[in-house]
Amino acid sequence: MASSEVAQAFAALEAHKRQISGSRIPDLFAADPQRFARFSIAFDDLLFDFSKHRVTDETRGLLLDLARAAKVEARRAALFNGDPVNGTEHRAALHMALRNLGGAPMRAAGVDVMPQVIAERRKMEAFAERVRNGEIRAANGERFTDIVNFGIGGSDLGPAMAARALSPFIADHLSLHFVANVDGADFADTMRRVPVETTLFIICSKTFTTLETMTNAATARKYVAEKLGEAAIGYHFCAVSTQLEKIAAFGIASDRVFGFWDWVGGRYSVWSAIALSLAIGIGRDNFEDFLRGGEDIDRHFMEAPLDRNIPVLMALLGVWYRNVFGFATHAVIPYDQRMARFSAYLQQLDMESNGKSVDLSGAAVTRATAPVIWGEPGTNGQHAFFQLLHQGTEIVPIDFLVAAEPIAADAKHHEILFANCLAQSQALMQGRSLAEVVSLLESQKLSPDAIKALAPHKVFQGDRPSSTFLYRQLTPRTLGRLIALYEHKVFVQGVIWDINSFDQWGVELGKELALKLGPIVSDSGLSTEGLDSSTAGLVEA
């Protein structure tokens, strides 16, 4: 149940929105030459620019009042203290322990988890290094050349996204592949590109029951046994899960099994052994740099005052647009091709966490929760959906992400990429008025009739908000920082909406029905009676 302080803070924001409705973002820049300096935060070599928003000093103050009313600081302390913040599953959410390289005690249910976290990380990293340097070899004695990860959701998206983001850091002699979908095409198409005799398969599943992953793993086991013989299984498989006894039943030796804990949510598991494929690919030092990036942001989130706290401000801006303006979606557009899967990764992080309609007490929420998160890399998006962003009737707040310097890519290309990123946020904010369009068309010597017909189509309303994350280079540490920023943003929004960001009951019903429908789909002899006519009709067809 939202507190009356939160309701008051929202009421103040709504009144404030009406007051500032006459001023547009370009006006805010015109009135304040220091706006960029005052509405941006540098964190080491990462810069968060939130100046291109419908936000004044007063707005920021009112948003911070909302954070205080929602008791963000107390709830943040509860998160880091290992309190059971995931109430419906009676669990802590302590993924920060996985990147706590300093090793200071962190407790879940009162027990310091760091000794087990450190021991498991050492075991995983040692295995990864030995695969990488060729000490651990395939059944035929050759070095592994390919790693295939079976997993879905958090057991796929994190390592798959990061492997792509950090591709220049992956050893040249290794290729990483990710099979998630139960659609057999995913497995079949991957295996067409992969030499089975030098491929290591990693089965990643927190629960070790997920239908997709178990189906793919069973198919792969059969495939390897057929191609290389049953004795090869022990050489070619390893597994990551919280359910170690279930792995034993699959026939994988314990020294190839890596664990994590129920206080790590699937969508927060990229910091755990779930990223074994990534650790093999990029090596121990880079993997630890990735963790260090997450740890950097944990410290910032804990220590920075709310008004200089990047994830807190990201969250508040999101709430401002989602709840006060009613904008239903939020785009994340990396001008960074290697971040092509970042928006997909954030979809799970944000929408599985905050796509909720009841609050912590089980009562219906009174305000909208998570926006739809979406996005594709720039500049590609410019030639696809940017038309709507500039001139459509929906306003979409955007996060632009861009590196100052490329890694292993042409500098001239990067200049063009970078200029495009800035041009888009500038165009979205500034727009182009009817008067400007008319004068432009007049300068092109169009007839008055032609100008009258064409001008409305060339008007850009502008005043469309965006943040820009500028980082020096997309290194493992930068990627770790970016992910952790979004994790804590999602957490803060969950606090403001008073929802449980750490459960995901909404995925269960579909799973349950798929299990019931499975036998009916497989066996045309089984009756479809009792099914709705659409489902029955589709099965029969």
**Catalytic residue ranges:** 352, 383, 511
**Which string of DSSP letters, residue by residue, matches 371-423?**
PEEE---TTGGGGTTHHHHHHSSS---EEEEEESS-SSS-HHHHHHHHHHHHH
Distance CA 207, CA 264 (A): 11
Binding span for ligand F6P by CB under 6 A among 151-159, 225-233, 334-342, 364-372: 151-159
Among 99, 206, 477, 488, binds ligand F6P (CB under 6 A): 206
Smallest separation (angstroms) from ligand F6P to the CB of 13: 32
**How distant, in Å, are the alpha carbons of 160, 402, 510 from that of 350?**
17, 21, 20
**Sole window of 80-88, 187-195, 199-207, 514-522 interacting with ligand F6P (rule: CB under 6 A):** 199-207
Our CB check for ligand F6P shows the closer of 508 and 523 to be 508
CB 264 within 8 Å of CB 94 = yes
Specify whether the CB–CB gap between 493 and 314 falls below 8 A: no
Which residue stretch of 102-110, 192-200, 204-212, 489-497 sits at the interface with ligand F6P (rule: CB under 6 A)? Answer: 204-212
CB of residue 181 vs ligand F6P: minimum separation in angstroms? 12
CB of 352 to ligand F6P, least distance (A): 6
23/99 Cα distance (integer angstroms): 43
Choices 82-90, 128-136, 147-155, 450-458; region in contact with ligand F6P by CB under 6 A? 147-155
Instruction: Tell me whether residue 90 or residue 383 sits nearer to ligand F6P (CB atom).
Output: 90
Q: Which pair of structure tokens corresponds to residue 387?
A: 């038309």
Site for ligand F6P in 335-364 (CB under 6 A): 352
Distance of closest approach, residue 210 Cβ to ligand F6P, in angstroms: 3
Q: Which of 13, 28, 63, 152 binds ligand F6P (CB under 6 A)?
A: 152
- The pattern of x and - marking residues 165 through 184 that bind ligand F6P according to CB under 6 A reads --------------------
218 binds ligand F6P (CB under 6 A): no
Q: What is the DSSP letter of 24?
A: -
Query: Which residues have CB under 8 Å from 31's CB, separation 6+?
Result: none
Beta bridge partners of 143: 137
Q: Which of 51, 100, 155, 475 binds ligand F6P (CB under 6 A)?
A: 155
Nearer to ligand F6P by C-beta: 466 or 504?
504
Instruction: Write down the least CB distance from residue 66 to ligand F6P, Å.
Output: 29
Which lies closer to ligand F6P via its Cβ, residue 270 or residue 470? 270
Q: Which tokens belong to 123?
A: 């075991």
Ranges within 442-501 binding ligand F6P (CB under 6 A): none
Q: Given strand 40-43, what is the order of strands in its sheet?
A: 40-43, 46-49, 466-471, 398-403, 329-335, 372-374
Q: Which is nearer to ligand F6P, 231 or 509 (CB)?
A: 509
Stretch that binds ligand F6P, among 60-68, 161-169, 207-215, 523-531 (CB under 6 A): 207-215
> Residue written as tokens 């000093």?
57
* Residue of the chain from 51, 190, 199, 210 that contacts ligand F6P (CB under 6 A): 210
**Helix 57-69 / helix 72-80 crossing angle, nearest 10 deg:** 50
Candidate list 153, 159, 294, 378; residue touching ligand F6P; CB under 6 A: 153
Strands 111-112 and 146-150: unpaired
The mark string for 294-333 relative to ligand F6P (x by CB under 6 A, - otherwise) is ----------------------------------------
Residue of the chain from 86, 207, 391, 535 that contacts ligand F6P (CB under 6 A): 207
Tokens 């099994």, residue located = 257
Which residues 6+ apart lie within 8 Å of 451 measured at CB?
Answer: 438, 441, 442
Pick one of 149, 369, 500, 504: the residue that binds ligand F6P (CB under 6 A): 504
Q: Which tokens hold the place of 477?
A: 């540490």
Q: What is the DSSP string of 49-88?
A: E--SSS--HHHHHHHHHHHHHTTHHHHHHHHHTT---BGG
Cβ atoms 237, 174 nearer than 8 A: no
What residue number has its CB nearest to ligand F6P? 266
- 432-to-55, 169, 331, 429, 460 alpha-carbon distances in Å: 21, 42, 22, 9, 5
Residue entry with tokens 């959410």: 93
Chain residues in the site for ligand F6P (CB under 6 A): 152-155, 205-207, 210, 213, 266-267, 352, 504, 507
